[in-house]
Amino acid sequence: MGAVMHALKITGSMTWEITWALILGFALSAVIQAVVRKSTVARLLGDDRPRTLTVASLLGAASSSCSYAAVALARSLFRKGANFTSAMAFQIGSTNLVLELGVILWLLLGWQFTLAEFIGGPIMIAILALLFRYFLKPHLLHEAREQADRGVAGSMEGHAAMDMSVAGEGSFLKRLLSRAGFTSVSHVFVMEWAAILRDLVIGLFIAGAIAAWVPDSFWEHFFLTGHPVLAGIWGPLIGPLVAVLSFVCSIGNVPLALVLWQGGISFGGVTSFIFADLIILPILSIYKKYYGKRAAWFLLWTFFIAMAGAGYAIELLFTAFGWVPDRDGMKVMSEGVSWNYTTFLNIAFLLLAAVLTLRFLRTGGMAMMRMMGGGPDDMTGHDHAAMGHGEMDHSAMGHGEMDHSTMHHGEHSDDGEHGEHGEHGGQANSGHEQHGGHEHHGHH
């Protein structure tokens, strides 16, 4: 019983230590997503030139950090005509170049790991693009496209299909500070938390259990800490394999990364471990559904090589510049709650989270929440502009449908804001883009 309590204490301490940083990261991500429209993305990703891959990775960084939603959205972009390599670059950017991951890495592990994330991500994309160019055969790509067009459901399809951005004229700040902007940010914020919470909780519990129960001597032998050269070679290879078996993706990997770093894995090994959330077993199963068995195997080995390659590059680069941090000064949190700056920051950011959650609830957010796990074509034609303000025909919602004429005229609003949809437009398309009007194809 004492061992269980020790593991729970470590889990609780880590959770308390990172709460404010998670809220800050997701709030910043919500602000970015509120002004970047998904409906414009596919037409920007028509080839695999370096410029296009750069755009793809940046647009990915401005979208959901949930690995499942990122994979679903990449498939949606591919179906809409995006280049397959660019769609995968978008997917990598979405899971490995997002602000919230950088913030939490900085807090738990240090600025060097955040820098490694933002340098290693583009290296990984470049390696993957080269592998795709030389090894992705036309017949395999054709198979992948045929399978993608079947629209087999994976996970978080509804979330990936929703476009919660603010439309309309005006500057970034004008749109963001409008009532529609506030609503959009609140919706993205809460939906991102809902998408990632399960993996985050699992990751924290796994990290707490491993930190409490696995002796240091095991890690020292496993990561070859007594042989620096061998450890540098072994780390980027074993990092992704540990990630595959952890079943945890995106932000949930970071607490475990801290435990592995304390255990003796190389700096490049930690980097490749964090990048490997796109080849965990549940994601591989989704690749098989999305693109077929052969394409799923192709993605597994190319992603693995790209992740390990990025890990080696980071190891060499950071060693050359003397940026690899000293692991002796770092420890897994276990001291619990006390009145320090972390507590005050947590209180402040929990209040911010409460304000955003209240706004989400008052503006029809729960109806959108119920659509998060829908099929890839279920969201076709749904306009977040209306949904974002609670302008719904609730009798229709009870039957899994929406009255778009009601929404269009803003006849119902939970917080008394009428007709805001004009300044907060959005499409949520997964199968194809809509041009004018509202169509309803899905069943919820």
For 157, the 3-state DSSP assignment is: helix
Per-residue pLDDT averaged across 281-290, rounded?
90
Helix/strand/coil for 97:
coil
Contact criterion met (CB below 8 Å) for 74 and 89:
no
Q: How many CB atoms lie within 10 A of CB 18?
A: 24
Nearest-angstrom CA–CA distance, 67 and 249: 6
CA distances from 192 to 27, 200, 377, 388, 408 (A): 10, 12, 20, 15, 26
Closest residue by Cα to residue 281 from 63, 66, 67: 67
Q: How far is CA 322 from the centre of its chain?
A: 30
- Report how far residue 109's alpha carbon sits from residue 399's, in angstroms, rounded to the nearest whole number: 48
> Averaged over 413-434, what is the pLDDT?
39
The model's confidence at residue 296, banded by pLDDT at 50, 70 and 90, is very high
Contact call for residues 164 and 384 (beta carbons, < 8 A): yes
**Residue 45 parent element (H or E):** none
Top mean pLDDT of 75-79, 221-225, 406-410 is at 221-225
Buried b (16+ CB within 10 A) or exposed e, 141-165: bebbeebbeebbbbbbbbbbbbbbb
Strands (E) in 361-406, as ranges, are none
CA distance 68 to 66: 6
pLDDT value of position 199: 83
Place of tokens 């471990």: 273
- pLDDT above 50 for 4: yes
Question: What is the 3-state secondary structure of 303-361?
Answer: HHHHHHHHHHHHHHHHHHHCCCCCHHHCCCCCCCCCCCHHHHHHHHHHHHHHHHHHHHH
Q: Residue 86: is its pLDDT beyond 90? A: yes
Residue 246 tokens, joined: 């952890």
* Rounded Cα gap, residues 267 and 105, in angstroms: 13
How far is Cα 106 from Cα 305, in angstroms, rounded to an integer? 26
Return the domain boundaries, the chain: 2-347
| 261-270, 377-386, 413-422: segment of lowest average pLDDT | 413-422
What is the distance of C-alpha 96 from the center of its chain? 8
The sign of the dihedral angle between the CA atoms of 399, 405, 409, 411 is negative
Q: Among 29-33, 119-123, 163-167, 363-367, which stretch is predicted with the lowest mean pLDDT? A: 163-167
Residue with tokens 């940083």: 21
Position 386 confidence tier, pLDDT thresholds 50, 70, 90: very low
This prediction's pTM: 0.74
Helices (H) and strands (E) in the chain, counts: 21, 0
The stretches of 80-110 forming alpha helices (DSSP H) are 84-96, 99-108
Look at residue 442 in the predicted model and tell me its pLDDT: 39
The C-alpha R_g of the chain, in whole angstroms, comes to: 22
Q: Which two tokens stand for residue 180?
A: 């529609």
Half-sphere exposure of 125 (CA within 13 A, CB side): 33
Choice between 381 and 128, residue whose per-residue pLDDT is larger? 128
pLDDT band for position 139 (cuts 50, 70, 90): very high
